[in-house]
Amino acid sequence: MHKLLSQLDSAEPLRDMSLAELEQLGDEIRDVLCNLLSERTAHFASNLGVVELCLALHSSFDFRRDRLLWDTGHQVYPHKLVTGRYHEFGTIRTKGGLMGYPNPEESEYDLFMTGHAGCSVSTVLGIRAGDQLLSPDRYSVAVIGDGAFPSGIVYEALNNISEVKDKLLIVLNDNKMSICPRVGGMASYLDRLRTNSFYTGLKTEVVKVLNKVPLLGDPAERFLAQIKEGVKAGLHGGMLFEDLGLRYIGPIDGHDIGLIRKYLAMVRDLEGPILLHVVTEKGHGFEPAAEDPVFFHTPPAFVNDNGHAVPKSKGGSKAYTNFARDAIHQAAGKDEHVTVMTAAMCQGNKLEPVREDYPEQFFDTGICESHAVAFAAGQAKAGLRPVVAIYSTFLQRSFDQIFQEVALQNQPVTFMLDRAGLAGPDGPTHHGVYDLAYMRVFPNMTVMAPGDARDVGAMLDFALSLDGPSSLRYPKAAAETIDGPRADVELGRCEVLREGADGTLVGCGVMVHECLRAADLLKDEGLELGVINARFVKPIDRETFSRVLALSPFVVTVEEGCLMGGFGAALLEMACDQGLDTSRLTRLGVADEFIEHGDRGELLAELGLDAAGIAATCRRRANPVSQDIRDSAVG
């Protein structure tokens, strides 16, 4: 039993705790986190790194009234534990349990669901602007990591931040990491701030002295003023932030609760928006995670054996991400014109071998998806063949660059969308269910969905042969392979896997496997169903699908994506344009709602997208009257 944590119904008692009690609370939080990882995979190193920061914030502010936003949100576990959710914590990232990100439906302490990086500064700036008009005594705090800080939207917000007069704090949590080691000029700048020996000691006293130098106006005094400002700039490592209108303070030790509380008390009395630079260690308190924070970002379940992480089980089947990585690696090896870029997700996309073997062809832009896409368009214009490997949900951040820099210019950029479909326990901020809809609206764009592991490599090769942009998507799931001889990938051609006189199932992407399993179930019941691997969402196979819609008793499309604008919608549009009867067409997919977190298999079953659900839909279409009677009897 965790003595202190178990007694917390809210974070209010933290404000009366002694430093020793807060440190004990930190130990209990780390124990809970290690226990969680013995049950299931979860975000780990990032949460270990913010324990003291979380406790200092909640013991310095009352966030039932004051405002707290956690950027990205996957480091919110300590926050959940101290805000009354300890007894539910064992359910985190399971269906019906706590979300692994902030969730306003769970607690008044959670203001926004935050799963995409960089948005907290803009959002907290808007909150504070609203509070200045309606509740001026509230204080607003955003915690943003150094990996998220280079996001373009952060600088758009900083450009406006001088409009806020008071009670706004940005805590820059600097742990020298994104998910992978961070890259770019801002990373180097923060490194210089962290290693400036003058900054936390000598600087303060020197600047006090410099501020006493009189400025009267004659040439000698103007020269002295220039020297004064030059010395201040040399000692003041945070001049970039100061010039943008932020009062910069730090860097300070982010694992010293007492020190952080001292600085938080100080900034409450300062005017203007404040940036407090806090240095933390990802994985702090558990040595294996501190030594390898990349692996321990979301590690597999393990047992803590005297400070050693012992995996509970070995990895399972090879994932689609691995097949995509291998195809990219092979393409880069065959053609030096092929370049690869990722947005701080080298480890998530499993691209380390590409980075190591072809470093001059590999580019990590950091958490800057808009820049990554425009950057890729520039490379394509120069004669390269860029492959942009980004999660489906994160590519949404670059919608305008896909439109203007890529599609409008007809640049041959290939998009490989990982985590397409349901992202399981990561939940609604990470489900990649919109990419088919948002990619197919652009002229010049070819949109593909590999049906199995073999399709992935074949489609990448095909994409790299095109003169314009293209995309292909694949889920976070164990890869499967369709048995038997296969058709080559041809532009706008689907693949007929089975013929069937009683109806037709059309699987978009890896849903074709559930369609095959559903067809097997129904075959045992006397129904012979055809199964088609759609392969292309745009251009759609007009010839094959026109024939199927005209001749098949019923057609069911199945996609792991939104129904609005997805593959089924594309088929309806084609049928409408050609004057075909669509009364026998049924579309299965994600309805107009956000899907909660849970195991991917559980979510597919709930949505009727597993074999059993697809078979049930086919039974209703094959014999609607008798099936309705059976459904009523069961009910």
Best CA proximity match to 254, nearest among 333, 145, 156, 148: 145
- Does residue 338 sit in helix, strand or coil? strand
Is residue 473 flagged as an active site residue? no
Encoded amino acid at 282, one letter: K
Rounded Cα distance between 315 and 269, Å, is 52
167, 397, 440, 621: the catalytic one is 397
- Does residue 389 sit in helix, strand or coil? strand
Sequence-ordered list of residues with C-beta below 8 angstroms from that of 92, at least 6 positions apart, any chain = 36, 42, 77, 80, 98, 99, 100
State the burial class of residue 316 (Cβ atoms within 10 Å of its Cβ: 0-12, 13-18, 19+): exposed
282, 419, 473, 621: the catalytic one is 282
Q: How far is CA 561 from CA 370, 373, 475, in A?
A: 23, 23, 11
Query: What is the 8-class DSSP label of residue 397?
Result: G
Rounded Cα distance between 286 and 229, Å, is 44
369, 405, 559, 602: the catalytic one is 369
Question: In what side-by-side order are the strands of the sheet with 536-538?
Answer: 362-364, 338-342, 385-391, 414-418, 470-473, 446-448, 536-538
Rounded Cα distance between 371 and 369, Å, is 5
Is residue 194 flagged as an active site residue? no
Task: Using the Cα atoms of residue 366, residue 368, residue 373 and residue 376 in order, give the sign of their dihedral.
Answer: negative
| Structure tokens, 569 | 């919608």
Is residue 369 flagged as an active site residue? yes
Sequence-ordered list of residues with C-beta below 8 angstroms from that of 625, at least 6 positions apart, any chain = none
The strand ranges marked E within 280-424 are 302-305, 308-311, 338-342, 362-364, 385-391, 414-418
Q: How far is CA 99 from CA 76, 91, 428, 596, in A?
A: 10, 9, 10, 8
Report, as residue numbers or ranges, the catalytic residues: 282, 369, 397
